[in-house]
């Protein structure tokens, strides 16, 4: 009866048969036929013993050989399943955005890790994990090896004869090298890296953060006002909730080549003042080489504005001047004949002329930006290279969706797209133009007129002292893009303030 042979084929062998001499000392013969539920364990024990003695071949009975072949086949399928499933879970998790629900990404990562473990277990079970085997036929002992002339096959015949007429399995017992499978390493390392990354992105991370134990640096400082002894004792027993305070992002580094944008903002005390200044500061923080000139309509600088400006980290100048009573609004009614913010803007112009010499060569641009408007960051880059006076559209003014300069095919401003008094010399909103700093310094007589100028003519009172219509430089794609919006914050209704003890003047809003 013929026996089957499992012969080891080394890498690059191309399926060619190895011709070697075989002696009795090269083989280990398993004499018992193991049956029952412990057959596999017994075979593993016998195999380990043979490997330790370094036999080249192990001869076992057909029953054990069939079980081993089944074992190799199943574990190989486990290998393929683990690789495919683990890779799919891994790349699915990597493809998820960081803001994806954490319970999904964590579950995919755990599945990937489980597949890695399955891959490792199946690799330890199979003899075919790191080597290749090819089945061959061993001749029937009764033929006395006549058809085979080489000594290798003759040796196998002698082994088969020694075992009688039973069908045999013969497989090489070369010592299997330990696996250094790159794929296994990748499937193990990457999921853990992914899980750690997701954990750090999770909102649970602060709750899970704990102090180091006794091996930590004992020179750490306790929180201000805390008892150092109490802090050290509780440090080992509690989970610390990380508390952070919001800090304004500092503006971009100052550049020696970019012109400075001087943003002039008049402001006055009201319930929404801090909210609007905060919103505007958050925009200006993204603009490089910016100087914020904030001028309060007050007899003195208020602590609210002073603290806010200091905390922003912006380059700023804080000024104040109070508008005379007869030029202030009365009640909630808006009188278009009374100009607003005129004295504050004029004080900023005076400060610039007193700070910079008349013949200053420092490049710069002056822009009058109210604190209730909305500004695109693109607007500041558009105005930065203003040669004299640049202009652009403004949305939500004059009862229209937007007002804009009228530009001809040659790129020159020839008029104004507006309904309210379109024959004004410069029918433009305060947020719709910027002036070169040198022009401001050279034309020292140019100010906003307070007396004898009705509402809507403040812009013209300044610009007519600086340029003519032909000097205007249209920006924002020839005045076709909206980069500033004349928005207004709704006045809060505080009818219940002061009732039933709901007033706390110490809380700054």
What would the two tokens of residue 192 be?
């853990």
**Counts for the chain of helices (H) and strands (E), in that order:** 14, 17
DSSP state letters, 265-331: EEE---TTHHHHHHHHHHHHTTSSSEEEEEEESSSS--HHHHHHHHHH--EEEEEE-PPPGGGS--T
b/e per residue 213-228 (b: at least 16 CB within 10 A): eeeeeeeeeeeeeeee
In terms of Cβ atoms closer than 10 Å to its own Cβ (0-12, 13-18, 19+), residue 302 is middle
Residue 324 assigned to a binding site = no
Residue 266 assigned to a binding site = yes
Alpha-carbon distance of 495 to 507, in angstroms, equals: 18
For residue 173, the tally of other CB atoms under 10 A from its CB is 21
SS3 339: coil
Residue 19 assigned to a binding site = no
Q: Are 274 and 494 in contact (CB under 8 A)?
A: no
Residue 217 assigned to a binding site = no
**Active-site annotation holder among 46, 382, 403, 459:** 459
Q: Are 173 and 47 in contact (CB under 8 A)?
A: yes
Alpha-carbon distance of 3 to 135, in angstroms, equals: 10
Q: Are 252 and 284 in contact (CB under 8 A)?
A: no
Residue 371 assigned to a binding site = yes
Catalytic annotation present for 508: no
With tokens 């990404």, the residue in question is 105
What would the two tokens of residue 39 be?
């057959």
DSSP conformation class of 338: S
Residue 180 assigned to a binding site = no
Residue 260 assigned to a binding site = no
Query: Among candidates 368, 330, 356, 394, which has minimal Cα distance to 463?
Result: 368
Residue 353 assigned to a binding site = no
Residue 372 assigned to a binding site = yes
The residue count of the chain comes to 509
Residue 370 assigned to a binding site = yes
Task: List Cβ neighbours of 287 (8 Å cut-off, separation of 6 or more).
Answer: 251, 252, 261, 377, 380
Point out the residues that are catalytic.
459
Which residues sit in the known binding site? 266-268, 297, 340, 345, 370-372, 486-488
Which residues sit in the known binding site for UDP-alpha-D-glucuronate? 266-268, 297, 340, 345, 370-372, 486-488
Which residues sit in the known binding site for Mn(2+)? 372
């Amino acid at each position: 009866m013929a026996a089957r042979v499992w012969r080891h084929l080394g890498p690059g062998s191309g399926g060619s048969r190895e011709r070697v001499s075989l002696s009795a000392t090269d083989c280990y013969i398993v004499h018992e036929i193991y049956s029952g539920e412990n057959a596999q364990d017994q075979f593993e024990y016998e195999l380990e013993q043979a490997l330790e003695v370094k036999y080249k071949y192990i001869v076992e009975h057909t029953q054990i050989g069939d079980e081993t072949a089944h074992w190799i086949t199943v574990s190989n399928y486990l290998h393929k399943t683990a690789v495919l499933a683990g890779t799919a879970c891994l790349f699915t998790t990597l493809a998820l955005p960081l803001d994806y629900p954490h319970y999904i990404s964590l579950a995919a990562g755990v599945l990937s890790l489980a597949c890695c473990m399955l891959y490792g277990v199946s690799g330890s079970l199979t003899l075919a994990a790191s080597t290749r085997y090819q089945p061959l036929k061993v001749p029937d002992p009764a033929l006395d090896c006549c058809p085979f002339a080489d000594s290798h096959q003759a040796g196998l015949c002698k082994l088969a004869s020694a075992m009688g007429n039973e069908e045999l399995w013969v497989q090489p017992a070369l010592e299997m090298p330990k696996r250094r499978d790159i794929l296994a390493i990748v499937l193990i390392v990457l999921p853990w890296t992914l899980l750690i990354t997701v954990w750090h992105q999770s909102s649970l991370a602060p709750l899970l953060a704990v102090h180091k134990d006794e091996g930590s640096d004992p020179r750490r400082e306790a929180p201000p006002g805390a008892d150092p002894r109490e802090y050290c004792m509780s440090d080992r027993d509690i989970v610390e909730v990380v508390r952070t305070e919001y800090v304004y992002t500092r503006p971009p580094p100052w550049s020696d080549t970019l012109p400075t944008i001087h943003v002039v903002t008049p402001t006055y005390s009201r319930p929404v003042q801090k909210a609007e200044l905060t919103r505007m500061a958050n925009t200006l923080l993204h603009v490089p080489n910016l100087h914020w000139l904030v001028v309060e309509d007050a007899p003195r600088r208020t602590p609210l504005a002073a603290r806010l400006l200091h905390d922003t980290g912006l380059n700023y100048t804080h000024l104040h001047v109070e508008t005379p009573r007869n030029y202030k609004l009365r009640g909630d009614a808006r009188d278009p004949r009374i100009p607003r913010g005129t004295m504050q803007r004029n004080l900023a112009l005076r400060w610039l002329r007193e700070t910079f010499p008349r013949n200053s060569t420092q490049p710069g641009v002056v822009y009058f930006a109210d604190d209730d408007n909305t500004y695109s960051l693109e607007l500041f880059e558009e105005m930065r290279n203003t040669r004299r006076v640049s202009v652009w559209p403004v949305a939500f003014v004059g009862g229209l969706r937007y007002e804009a300069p009228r530009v001809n095919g040659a790129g020159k401003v020839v008029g104004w797209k507006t309904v309210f008094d379109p024959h004004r010399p410069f029918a433009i909103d305060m947020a719709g133009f910027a002036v070169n700093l040198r022009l401001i310094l050279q034309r020292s007589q140019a100010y906003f007129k307070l007396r004898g100028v009705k509402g809507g003519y403040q812009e013209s009172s300044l610009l007519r002292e600086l340029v003519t219509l032909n000097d205007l430089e249209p920006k924002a794609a020839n005045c076709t893009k909206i980069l500033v919006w004349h928005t207004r914050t709704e006045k809060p209704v505080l009818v219940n303030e002061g009732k039933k003890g709901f007033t706390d003047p110490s809380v700054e809003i």
